[in-house]
Chain A
Amino acid sequence: MSLLQVKDLVTEFKTDQGVVRALRGISFDIKAGETVGLVGESGCGKSVSARSIMRLIPNPPGKISEGEIIFDGKDVLKMSEKEMRAIRGNKISMIFQDPMTSLNPVLRIDYQLEEVLALHQPNLSKAERRQVALDMMKKVKIPSPEQRLREYPHQLSGGMRQRVMIAIALACRPTLLLADEPTTALDVTVQAQILNLMAELREDIGTAILLITHDLGVVAEVCDRVMVMYLGEVVESGPVEQIFANPQHPYTISLMKSIPKITASRKSGERLDTIRGVVPSLHNVPKGCSFRERCDFAKEVCDTDHPELKETTNGTCYRCFFPQGQS
């Protein structure tokens, strides 16, 4: 029984040039305790997916127009705002990309951390709250936690702020953590620290994690399963080892190929592989397969028919008429 089941989710936005469907009917699920990676280029809908799950899509101009999001057996999309609020920060938490701007600059760290406890665990006394906050700060390995709690966000470095964000997100021991590119804005060394931290906490608290990233290396290290998105759709998904060893969808294959390899030979003339073309605009979604323009293996049917997600025996699925993996 999955913790989270997303079915045919469609999220649209009103723009100056018409209504745009950022999510064009995505479906996936996440089981308790597992870490799922969500990769894709900028604009493919990764962030929108996470925000849709939390119902954080701003209502003008956005709208979740179709689909179901079943969390813990209940459809999130049918819940009242009050019920949703009880879930946010409590059962499902989210951390964001830019730690520099994600914390309120005029409120102290202790306020921001304890706020989430006060909201969802009202039975705690003030002293107990403070203790939990302190514990969380220690768990995320922030030095001098008592002092830090009394400080303001601008007094902490980017890495530390992100740790605080994680502390806030995990304070109520959620069963699902949505991490929207949590390390993209950080230095590489800090990145490693944060990822390790998340892995440890996952062991400790048992949270399932949806890790949104554009960095395949991170996925390989940390995730159990991975989903690849393109232009608002899931085009391939499956266990990490499978997808990395034997990608099926041409887009996934290109992504794998375009990772610079340190072991690549220095033959003169050898260049970085790239994917030709550009991502089509969401205002002009191509008919048929969305990847058609950039695909080296497309045939006529790809122009006219839109491929559906096809499941295979080893737990992967892909959305392609002519998958290019080794069967």
Chain B
Amino acid sequence: MWSYALKRIVAFIPVYIVVMGFITYVSWEHMNVVDAHLDKNAQAQERRELEEQLGLTGSVFLRNAKKIWKTLRFQFGMSMTKNRPVKTVLWERGIISLTLTLPALFLSTFIAVVIGLFAAYFRGQAVDRFIMMAATVGMSVSFLVYIIVFQYLLTFKLELFPTYGWNETFLDSLSFLVLPIFIQVLVSLGYDSRFYRAVMVEESTKDYITTAYAKGVSQGKVIFVHMLRNALIPIITRFFIAMPFLFMGSFLLEMFFGIPGLGSTMINALTGKTDPPLIIGATAVLCTGYLIFLVLTDILYAVVDPRVRLE
């Protein structure tokens, strides 16, 4: 198993190098860094100084090679917008993002699996068709619309939740999380229930299910022992694959609800006052996380499905 993981990681290294090279290059050279951080009335002199400070003078090739080399050694430097080490910013804000995305993932997976089971059980009947229609409708509404409408209804009109904001400690911030988590779960439910229903339906048509019934096994046991055990494979896989993206958070929700998570920070680093070190650092983390979870998922697969052998 370790040799497999090692092989995957080694194979990924060239990918990583190219990705980080690309990101480093684009972030420093194409994001108007200098303009973004200069005063409106800056003189040419100040501009040159800033360029030197940022390492943007000299040959394009050399300066990028230097930066890329630094990136590959995981030296991300200081965030230009937060004035703190990139690693610190990533960590702090990433955790905050997680407090939204992790519970949301658990909740939406659980609910969607139940819905999917339910729909598959009543496959073809009115209940199923209704659920599927609702899921399709849910999946067709724009994320933006969900946020705007629910924020309007539940915070403005009904004043049930705070609109906006965050507190120092986690416990104080709980009330700020309820609505965003609710919206995130709602948005995912459409896609997820459809997927899990399809998984359940696929399993329920397999021959071994008929064998189980022919043995006199009760419906409950057939579904929860025989079928679920097989359906767990795609369920867990899907759950796991979503993991690396949790760290980055849901940037839309963070922006609308004023949650200082990694997602909104990234977006600001990319669109407002561009912050190349932060962009690079975040991408590095996400890229590495992606790889790690890819390998973990394969290993998990081998654990959960006795038919799978890691090559």
Within the complex, are A and B direct neighbours (CB within 8 Å)?
Answer: yes
Which residues from chain A sit less than 8 Å from chain B, CB to CB?
54, 56, 60-61, 85-90, 93-94, 96, 98, 101-107, 115-116, 119-120, 152, 154, 165, 168
Please state if B206 and A101 are interface contacts (CB–CB under 8 Å).
yes
Minimum CB distance partner of B125 in chain A: A60
Please state if B226 and A107 are interface contacts (CB–CB under 8 Å).
yes
Q: Which residues of B contact A152 (CB under 8 A)?
A: 306-307
**Residues 194-222 of B at the A interface (beta carbon under 8 Å):** 206-208, 210-218
Please state if B207 and A85 are interface contacts (CB–CB under 8 Å).
no
Q: Which residues of B contact A105 (CB under 8 A)?
A: 208, 230, 305-307
Separation of A283 and B34 alpha carbons in the complex (Å):
76
Q: Which residues of B contact A115 (CB under 8 A)?
A: 215, 217
- What are 26 contact pairs spanning A and B, CB under 8 A? A61-B124, A88-B214, A88-B215, A89-B215, A90-B216, A93-B214, A96-B207, A96-B210, A98-B207, A104-B208, A104-B211, A104-B229, A105-B306, A105-B307, A106-B230, A106-B233, A106-B304, A106-B305, A107-B226, A115-B217, A116-B215, A119-B215, A119-B217, A152-B306, A154-B306, A165-B211
Q: Which residues of B contact A103 (CB under 8 A)?
A: 208, 211
Q: How far is the CB of A177 from chain B (nearest CB, A)?
A: 11
Q: Which residues of B contact A119 (CB under 8 A)?
A: 215-217
Q: How far is the CB of A12 from chain B (nearest CB, A)?
A: 16
Please state if B123 and A89 are interface contacts (CB–CB under 8 Å).
no
Separation of A88 and B307 alpha carbons in the complex (Å):
29
Separation of A115 and B306 alpha carbons in the complex (Å):
19
Q: How far is the CB of A62 from chain B (nearest CB, A)?
A: 12
Please state if A104 and B123 are interface contacts (CB–CB under 8 Å).
no
Separation of A54 and B212 alpha carbons in the complex (Å):
12
Mark B77-101 against chain A: 1 for CB-CB distance below 8 A, else 0.
0000000000000000000000000
Separation of A94 and B213 alpha carbons in the complex (Å):
10
Q: Which residues of A contact B210 (CB under 8 A)?
A: 56, 96, 102
Q: How far is the CB of B203 from chain A (nearest CB, A)?
A: 10
Interface hub of A104, A115, A116, A119 (most chain B Cβ within 10 A): A104
How many B residues have CB within 8 A of the partner chain? 23
Separation of A115 and B307 alpha carbons in the complex (Å):
21
Please state if B226 and A104 are interface contacts (CB–CB under 8 Å).
yes
Q: Which residues of A contact B208 (CB under 8 A)?
A: 101-105
Q: Which residues of B contact A61 (CB under 8 A)?
A: 124
Separation of A188 and B51 alpha carbons in the complex (Å):
81
Separation of A120 and B214 alpha carbons in the complex (Å):
13
Q: Which residues of B contact A116 (CB under 8 A)?
A: 215-216
Q: Which residues of A contact B213 (CB under 8 A)?
A: 56, 88
Q: Which residues of A contact B230 (CB under 8 A)?
A: 104-106
Q: Which residues of A contact B207 (CB under 8 A)?
A: 96, 98, 101-102
Minimum CB distance partner of A94 in chain B: B214
Please state if A96 and B211 are interface contacts (CB–CB under 8 Å).
yes
Kindly identify which residue among A56, A86, A104 contacts B214, using a CB–CB cutoff of 8 Å.
A56
Known: A56-B210, A90-B216, A120-B216. 8 other contacts (CB 8 A): A54-B214, A61-B124, A85-B216, A89-B215, A102-B208, A104-B230, A116-B216, A168-B215
Which residues from chain B sit less than 8 Å from chain A, CB to CB?
123-125, 206-208, 210-218, 226, 229-230, 233, 304-307
Minimum CB distance partner of A54 in chain B: B214
Q: How far is the CB of A66 from chain B (nearest CB, A)?
A: 23
Separation of A104 and B216 alpha carbons in the complex (Å):
15
Separation of A95 and B108 alpha carbons in the complex (Å):
40
Closest 10 CB pairs of A and B: A89-B215, A88-B216, A89-B216, A101-B207, A104-B208, A152-B306, A94-B214, A85-B216, A116-B215, A102-B207
Separation of A119 and B214 alpha carbons in the complex (Å):
12
Q: How far is the CB of B125 from chain A (nearest CB, A)?
A: 7
Q: How far is the CB of B302 from chain A (nearest CB, A)?
A: 12
Q: Which residues of B contact A54 (CB under 8 A)?
A: 214
Q: How far is the CB of B266 from chain A (nearest CB, A)?
A: 40
Minimum CB distance partner of A171 in chain B: B215
Q: Which residues of A contact B124 (CB under 8 A)?
A: 60-61
Q: How far is the CB of A252 from chain B (nearest CB, A)?
A: 30
Q: Which residues of A contact B206 (CB under 8 A)?
A: 101
Minimum CB distance partner of B305 in chain A: A106
Separation of A105 and B227 alpha carbons in the complex (Å):
10
Q: How far is the CB of B182 from chain A (nearest CB, A)?
A: 35
Q: Which residues of A contact B125 (CB under 8 A)?
A: 60
Known contacts A56-B210, A105-B230; A154/B307 CB under 8 A: yes
Interface hub of A96, A101, A102, A165 (most chain B Cβ within 10 A): A102
Minimum CB distance partner of A178 in chain B: B214
Please state if B123 and A60 are interface contacts (CB–CB under 8 Å).
yes
Separation of A160 and B173 alpha carbons in the complex (Å):
60
Separation of A296 and B110 alpha carbons in the complex (Å):
64
Minimum CB distance partner of B124 in chain A: A60
Minimum CB distance partner of A92 in chain B: B214
Separation of A219 and B11 alpha carbons in the complex (Å):
58
Q: Which residues of B contact A96 (CB under 8 A)?
A: 207, 210-211, 214
Separation of A265 and B284 alpha carbons in the complex (Å):
79
Minimum CB distance partner of B210 in chain A: A56
Q: How far is the CB of A116 from chain B (nearest CB, A)?
A: 5
Q: How far is the CB of A172 from chain B (nearest CB, A)?
A: 9
Please state if B216 and A86 are interface contacts (CB–CB under 8 Å).
yes
Q: Which residues of B contact A168 (CB under 8 A)?
A: 211, 215
Separation of A86 and B217 alpha carbons in the complex (Å):
9
Separation of A96 and B208 alpha carbons in the complex (Å):
10
Q: Which residues of A contact B307 (CB under 8 A)?
A: 105, 152, 154
Separation of A96 and B209 alpha carbons in the complex (Å):
12
Q: Which residues of A contact B217 (CB under 8 A)?
A: 85, 89, 115, 119
Q: Which residues of A contact B216 (CB under 8 A)?
A: 85-90, 116, 119-120
Q: How far is the CB of B215 from chain A (nearest CB, A)?
A: 4
